[in-house]
Amino acid sequence: MQFKRLLQYKNIAHCYTLKENLNFRGVSPIKQESIKSICNELNLDSSKFIMAEQDHTKNIAIINNGNESLEDIDGLITNQKGFVLASKSADCTSLLMYDPEKNAIASVHSGWRGTAKKIAVETANKMKETYGSKPENIICCICPSIRKCHFEVDEDVKELFENTFKYEGIIEKGRTDGEKQKYNIDTTKINKQMLKDCGLKEENIVDCELCTVCNNDKFHSYRADKPNYGLNVGIIALK
């Protein structure tokens, strides 16, 4: 899957992978085959495929030579050609960012914990600090992820978001499970608002509007497939 907005730029390659025949989980042979397959499809060098360890942090790695530590990293940025920046997910939000003025890119894993830690803002700030990017020039594409319709949480997570964000309409009272009240949270809306607050233009925030649970036939989903879930990746590279 690709974004029309990013296809306007011929010096980058990108995609969000589909479920069929691709799985980027673990260290299985299918993962290595999936990396080779998607890199071949995009005409990219699979030996420069960079995927962070991802531990629901707000930490960003600057990729200069491909030998950087990826432990406790959930966001990748670079202005170097050839590196394939990949963020894995199975319901979590992947963000693909591009600054056409400074020719810098980012691939970000923003699960609900990363969203609460504002990793999207951390990434935009890191691009500003490292490459001189102006937020108003950064394009951010929001890949398929679990949406409010299926992101159901308990009181503890609801309170975390309630205390962290004051945006309207991000939390909705959901069903009851016995005596337990459930809540639905709109992490996509939160990421959009955060990005706007840190200076991105609304027209530069592009949302695919696809839920991985609703579209589980097309995308891996932890909530729909567990325990045998697979992983999708959001990829971006400078050619």
Domain definitions of the chain by residue range: 4-145+205-238
Secondary-structure breakdown of the chain: helix, strand, coil percentages, each rounded to the nearest 5: 30, 30, 45
Which contiguous run of DSSP H or E holds residue 16?
Answer: strand 12-16
d(CA 111, CA 155): 18
The tally of CA atoms less than 13 A away on the side-chain side of residue 26 is 8
15 CB burial (10 A radius; 0-12, 13-18, 19+): buried
Token pair for 94: 């992947």
> Which pLDDT score is estimated for 27?
78
CA dihedral 24, 25, 30, 32 (to 10 degrees): 60
d(CA 190, CA 168): 10
Token pair for 146: 């679990």
4-145+205-238, CATH topology level: CNF1/YfiH-like putative cysteine hydrolases (3.60.140)
Token pair for 219: 């995308």
> Which pLDDT score is estimated for 197?
98
Q: How is residue 135 annotated by DSSP?
A: G
What 3-state class would DSSP assign to 67?
Answer: coil
> Which pLDDT score is estimated for 28?
76
Spans of the chain below 50 pLDDT: none
Which contiguous run of DSSP H or E holds residue 114?
Answer: helix 112-116
> Which pLDDT score is estimated for 45?
98
Give the E-state strand segments of 22-158 in sequence order. Answer: 49-51, 60-62, 75-78, 84-89, 93-99, 104-110, 139-142, 152-153
Residue 123 has a CB neighbour count (10 Å cut-off) of: 26
What 3-state class would DSSP assign to 44?
Answer: coil
Q: Answer whether 136's CB lies under 8 Å from 199's CB.
A: yes
What 3-state class would DSSP assign to 118?
Answer: coil
pTM: 0.97
Q: What is the 3-state secondary structure (H, E, C) of 138-157?
A: CEEEECCECCCCCCEECHHH
Quote the Cα angle for 138-141-145, to 5°. 145
